[in-house]
Chain A
Amino acid sequence: MTAIVEVEHVTKRYGSLTAVDDVSLRLEPGRVYGLLGRNGAGKTTLMSLLTGQDFPSEGAIRVFGRSPVEHADVLQQLCFIRESQRYPDDFEPRHVLRSAEWFFPNWDAAFAQQLVEEFRLPVKRKIKKLSRGQLSAVGVIVGLASRAPLTFFDEPYLGLDASARQLFYDRLLADIAERPRTVVLSTHLIDEVADLLEHVLLIDRGRLIVDSDAEELRGTAAAVVGPRDRVEAFVAGRDVLHRDGIGGLATATVNRLSDAERAEASAAGLELAPVSLQQLVVRLTGAPESEVTNR
């Protein structure tokens, strides 16, 4: 498959801060990507670079074969829903939806109207009077109804309640199933979106530390549970991401366990527990151990 986005050794510096540090990646058409990482990791900067809203300090970016900067034929295929999108002061949601069709060739006004009703968005109210969740709904509706071949959602659902988020996931899944396109979802609610993702990109301190198929990532890590001395004997020399324990019982989260190693652990009387994508991300991006909660 030909990549629709090619990023080669891209670095972005703001003064002394390196927001994106030597990142190379490719995005394939028709897939759903999760762009994950902690606050300030560089996710939004990377998406700004990919959509031509910012310029790399070093490296090359090609989107649909050319630089996204100032190329209208590339830009009209992109949709970037920002976490805190600004609108003109006297704008109402209906103005946003009306103007969207000028920018997005695939804009589906009927679909947008359906979503307005489902999200219960008041379209004739000043945008600055909307609640945080209603403001997020505006972005979600634009992102879905624009049907852009490459859509970025940057933390799209601040303030959205659980039913509205579920509605977003359901409509997104149904729509991409009928009209395949590439979606990049950046979020902290990893547990909620884990089953939707085909591919995971994990950024930490500007660096891309995971670029992996979501299914391969599932099950690569495991928590080894058992008596402390036996756990320690088993994990010695392996890639241990995290240690935890109570009394004589220890849990060690180990990366990349083969089937043979799993059998070996079971034979040693140790239990293996699965590690969710969210837990894996927490382990890999090094939250202090006191912040880590076990489920």
Chain B
Amino acid sequence: MDEGRPIYSQVAEQIENDIISGALPEDTQVPSTNEFAAYLRINPATAGKGVNLLVDEGILYKKRGIGMFVSPGARERLIAARRDRFRNQYVTPLLAEAAKLGIPADQVAAMIRTDGRAAR
């Protein structure tokens, strides 16, 4: 777990990542709070807080007596939310670092284009 960020939000983020990647498809059951706690070696109450955060946001839903499941449409909603944050989270720091090193924005753009080609 990272320092400096609440553990429960990191738990929520890991589940989100698995939903976005397709490892947890819609309407499948997610591991239990205790399974998360044992796997991540964190306090069960903290793991539960992370799971409940996603229940409150409607990403997961509860089947009484059975467990937590991925809500229909959860993946689309998460991707939309991540796209909104993409600029702040990745582009702004990238340009700040480039500015610090004196790399002009159009050169950064050129790098992104060539890197994109190389990756393909």
Min Cβ gap A179→B in Å is 11
| Residue of B with least CB distance to A274 | B4
Q: Are B38 and A215 in contact (CB under 8 A)?
A: no
CB within 8 Å for A222 and B34 given contacts A32-B43, A176-B44: no
Contact (A170, B46) CB under 8 Å given A274-B4, A274-B5, A276-B3: no
- Separation in Å of the B33 CB from the closest CB of chain A? 8
Q: Which of B1, B46, B49 has the most CB of A within 10 A?
A: B46
- Bound-complex Cα distance A186 to B12 (A): 29
Q: Is A31 interfacial (CB-CB < 8 Å)?
A: yes
- CB atoms of B34 and A177 under 8 A apart: yes
Inter-chain contacts of A275 with B (CB < 8 A): 3-4
Query: Which residues in A have some Cβ–Cβ distance to B below 8 Å?
Result: 30-32, 169-170, 173-174, 176-178, 180, 195-198, 214-215, 218-219, 222, 273-276
**Contact of A195 with B43 in the complex, beta carbons under 8 Å:** yes
Given contact pairs A177-B37, A195-B7, A274 touches B2 in the complex (Cβ within 8 A): yes
Contacts of A197 in B (CB 8 A): 43
Asked if B6 contacts A215 (CB within 8 A), the reply is yes
8 closest A-B pairs by beta carbon, nearest first, are A274-B4, A274-B3, A177-B34, A177-B44, A195-B42, A215-B6, A276-B3, A219-B4
Q: How many A-B residue pairs have CB under 8 A?
A: 61
Is B61's beta carbon under 8 Å from chain A? no
Binary contact track B1-45/A, C-beta < 8 Å → 1, others 0:
111111110000000000000000000000001100110111111
> B99 CB to closest chain A CB, in angstroms?
10
Q: Which one of B5, B8, B43 contacts A173 once the chains associate, using CB atoms below 8 Å?
A: B43
Contact A195-B41, Cβ < 8 Å, known A174-B34, A215-B8, A215-B46: yes
Q: Is the interface of B mostly helix, strand, loop or mixed?
A: helix
Interchain CA distance A174-B33 in the complex, whole Å: 11
Closest-CB distance, A166 to chain B (whole angstroms) = 8
Contact assessment for A198 and B46 in the assembled complex, using a CB-CB cutoff below 8 Å: yes
Give every chain B residue within 8 A of A170 (Cβ-Cβ): 38, 41
Q: Which residues of B contact A276 (CB under 8 A)?
A: 3
| B15 CB to nearest A CB, Å | 17
B46–A222 touching, CB < 8 Å: no
Q: How far, in whole Å, are A219 and B3 apart by their CA atoms in the complex?
A: 7
**Shortest Cβ distance from residue A50 to the other chain B in the assembled complex, whole angstroms:** 21
CB distance from A257 to the nearest CB of B (A): 10
Scoring B34, B44, B49 by chain A CB atoms within 10 A of each residue's CB, the highest score goes to B44
With a cutoff of 8 Å between Cβ atoms, the chain A residues found around residue B45 in the complex are: 30-32, 198
In the assembled complex, 23 residue pairs joining A and B whose CB atoms fall closer than 8 Å, in A order, are: A31-B45, A169-B41, A170-B38, A170-B41, A173-B38, A174-B38, A177-B34, A177-B37, A177-B44, A180-B44, A195-B1, A195-B7, A195-B41, A196-B43, A197-B43, A215-B6, A215-B7, A215-B49, A219-B4, A274-B2, A274-B4, A275-B3, A276-B3
Name the contact of A222 in the complex, choosing from B4, B6, B7, B43 (C-beta under 8 A): B4
Q: Is A196 within 8 A of B4, CB to CB?
A: no
Could you tell me the distance between the alpha carbons of A196 and B37 in the complex, rounded to whole angstroms? 9
Chain B residues closer than 8 Å to A219, beta-carbon distance: 4-6
| B45 and chain A: residue at smallest CB distance | A198
